[in-house]
């Protein structure tokens, strides 16, 4: 049996049997197809949005470890430090719904372009800060800019991606968070020996590099074909599928399938919903989706990761690691480790599925966080240095499990679950709640650590138990489904733990006949081999 004949069966695990039968059987990897290389480059441009967020989070961790930054701003701690970090989330909160409106009315790219312009202004203010007030204002604007770029980005990635790539590229979306985190952590490690304000101004300036790259190329990124169809611009949408999914082949059956499926699905949605916000909770299926997309941001930010993302230096202080060299070095190594773990999770998404990775992640986070809590208690009560080292070890173990699922799926999973007419609205809610939870983390965490130290970890131990139960009972499997087929999971009312075995059809008789014929021919050829 040749690789060409077995490939459709492998693709079926990713996109389902029917759609797999329509994909090219030439045996060539996508890296040798110019249209897919170009499409994936454009997707990388969109993925610069989480890079900026990751850069900021890790940079603040690094700045807290710098003597020059602390001396210049008077060593902010407790509520003032919480305000400096939380004000970014306030910007995210206030920009969430305006970004969603722009995304729906003017397209996904318009919001990203506006966000990059705000980020450039914010970066200039932050790098030139002369006092705490200016630094706080700049961070508020960073939050606004991040929201305008990050809200539409996972939506656009999901709607542009080639069918067999969608699972991986949407999971990779948030992995790019660590591209920025790695860059800023090691830049800060390199500048900490500087005994001037340039030690913290240089990382602030370099934050603009990724934004400039995105602004330079976003003009060339195609608009979402689903948004184009929703605006009545079907010819442009078809041109996208022909050029970037079919390599210029006007008669490719894949184009007919995608256009037919998306057009019929959007028409029925638009007619029934009229694009109202109330469509988010009109039916039982809508309410089931809404519950999940509301819970995902809380899982993402209240799983205990917030303590490390912005306040690693404070956690390291509690176990006796207080020098700038050690703290910035550990931060740099942790970001590389996180990126590798998140990349592994993204590569496993089509092999193991979303639900399996969610459950694996929840169990691992709970076990490692409990161990982290116990070791912290021992270190606090006895001063035992070995237990302090174990705290660092369990922090790494915890983030391995966090990054396996939570990092890849925080934005991609809700974007997959939501139907088109609710996708940008739903993602506005996801981003709003993400900002709300970050606001809590940013302001409360440093105060809580200062007040009760290691005992604060127990709160997250309890939360992680709840998270495990929520994932088991509510989170369905979406592997092997098109975006349009995922809606059938919710319409059927199938319990989350049984969704992995569901069977789907295209819902279009003409297309189904073509698919059935293709599958029969392919099966006959495989048997003959």
Number of alpha carbons in the 13 Å side-chain half-sphere of residue 319: 26
How many residues does the structure list for the chain?
Answer: 529
Q: How far apart are CA 211 and CA 115, in angstroms?
A: 9
Q: Report d(CA 425, CA 418) in Å as an integer.
A: 9
Q: Can you give 134-151 as a three-state secondary structure string?
A: HHHHHHHHHHHHHHHHHC
pLDDT at residue 501 in the model: 65
Q: At what angle do helices 132-150 and 153-160 cross, to 10 degrees?
A: 20
The answer for 480, left when phi > 0, alpha when psi is -120 to 50, beta otherwise, is left
**CATH number belonging to domain 31-522:** 1.20.1250.20
Separation of alpha carbons 115 and 18, rounded Å: 39
Residue 270: predicted pLDDT: 58
Calpha distance 411→48 (Å, rounded): 14
- CA-to-CA distance for 182 and 177, rounded, in angstroms? 9
Does the pTM exceed 0.85? Answer: no
Tokens of 261: 């499926």
How many other CB atoms are there within 10 angstroms of residue 31's CB atom?
A: 9
Cβ atoms of 317 and 146 within 8 Å: the answer is no
Give the whole-angstrom CA distance, residue 346 versus residue 175: 8
Torsion-angle region of 16 (φ positive above 0: left; ψ -120 to 50: alpha; else: beta): left
**Token code pair at residue 147:** 């929201």
- Give CA–CA dist 229/252, Å, rounded: 19
pLDDT the model gives residue 59: 84
pLDDT of amino acid 471? 95
Residue stretches of the chain with pLDDT short of 70: 1-21, 25-27, 267-275, 484, 501-529
Burial tier of 222 (Cβ tally within 10 Å: 0-12, 13-18, 19+): buried
Q: Quick check: 246 and 237 in contact, CB under 8 A?
A: no
CB half-sphere exposure, 118, CA atoms < 13 A? 26
Q: Which whole-number Å values give the CA distances from 403 to 71, 114, 235, 431, in the listed order? A: 34, 30, 40, 19
What pLDDT does residue 46 have?
A: 94
CA distance 515 to 232: 27
């Amino acid at each position: 049996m040749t690789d060409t004949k077995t490939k459709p069966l492998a693709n079926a695990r990713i996109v389902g049997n029917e759609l797999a039968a329509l994909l090219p059987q030439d045996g060539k990897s996508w890296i040798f197809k110019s249209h897919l290389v170009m499409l994936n480059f454009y997707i990388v441009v969109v993925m610069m949005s989480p890079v900026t967020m990751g850069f900021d989070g890790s940079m603040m961790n690094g700045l807290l470890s710098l003597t020059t930054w602390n001396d210049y701003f008077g060593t902010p701690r407790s509520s003032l430090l919480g305000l400096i970090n939380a004000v970014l989330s306030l910007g995210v909160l206030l920009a969430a719904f305006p970004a969603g409106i722009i995304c729906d009315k003017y397209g996904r790219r318009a919001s990203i372009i506006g966000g990059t312009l705000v980020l450039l202004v914010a970066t200039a203010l932050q790098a030139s800060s002369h006092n705490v007030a200016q630094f706080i204002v700049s961070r508020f604007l960073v939050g606004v800019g991040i929201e305008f770029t990050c809200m539409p980005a996972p939506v656009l990635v999901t709607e542009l991606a080639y069918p067999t790539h969608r699972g991986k590229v949407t999971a990779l979306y948030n992995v790019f968070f660590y591209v920025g985190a790695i860059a800023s952590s090691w830049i800060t490690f390199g500048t900490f020996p500087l005994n001037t304000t340039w030690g913290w101004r240089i990382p602030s300036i370099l934050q603009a590099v990724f934004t400039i790259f995105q602004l330079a190329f976003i003009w060339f990124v195609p608009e979402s074909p689903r948004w184009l169809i929703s605006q009545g611009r079907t010819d442009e949408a078809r041109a996208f599928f022909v050029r970037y999914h079919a390599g210029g082949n006007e008669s490719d059956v894949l184009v007919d399938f995608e256009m037919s499926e998306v057009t019929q699905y959007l028409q029925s949605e638009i007619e029934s919903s009229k694009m109202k916000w109330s469509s988010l909770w009109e039916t039982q299926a809508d309410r089931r989706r809404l519950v999940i997309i509301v819970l995902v941001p809380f899982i993402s930010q209240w799983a205990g990761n917030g303590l490390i993302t912005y306040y690693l230096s404070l956690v390291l202080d509690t176990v006796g690691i207080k020098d700038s060299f050690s703290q910035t070095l550990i931060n740099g190594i942790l970001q590389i480790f996180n990126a590798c773990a998140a990349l592994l999770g993204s590569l496993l998404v089509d092999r193991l599925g979303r639900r399996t990775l969610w459950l694996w992640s929840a169990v691992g986070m709970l076990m490692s966080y409990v161990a982290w809590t116990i070791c912290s208690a021992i270190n606090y009560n006895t001063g035992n240095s070995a237990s302090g080292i174990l705290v660092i070890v369990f922090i790494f173990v915890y983030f391995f499990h966090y990054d396996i699922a939570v990092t890849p799926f925080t934005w991609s999973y809700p974007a997959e679950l939501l139907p088109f007419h609710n996708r940008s609205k739903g993602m506005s809610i996801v981003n709003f709640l993400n900002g709300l939870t970050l606001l809590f983390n940013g302001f409360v965490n440093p105060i809580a650590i200062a007040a009760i130290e290691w005992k604060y970890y127990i709160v997250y131990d309890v939360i992680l138990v709840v998270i495990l139960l929520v994932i088991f009972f509510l989170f369905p499997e979406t592997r092997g489904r098109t975006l349009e087929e995922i809606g059938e999971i919710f319409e059927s009312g199938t319990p989350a733990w049984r969704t992995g075995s569901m069977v789907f059809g295209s819902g279009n008789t003409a297309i189904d006949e073509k698919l059935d014929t293709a599958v029969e021919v392919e099966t006959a050829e495989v048997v003959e081999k």
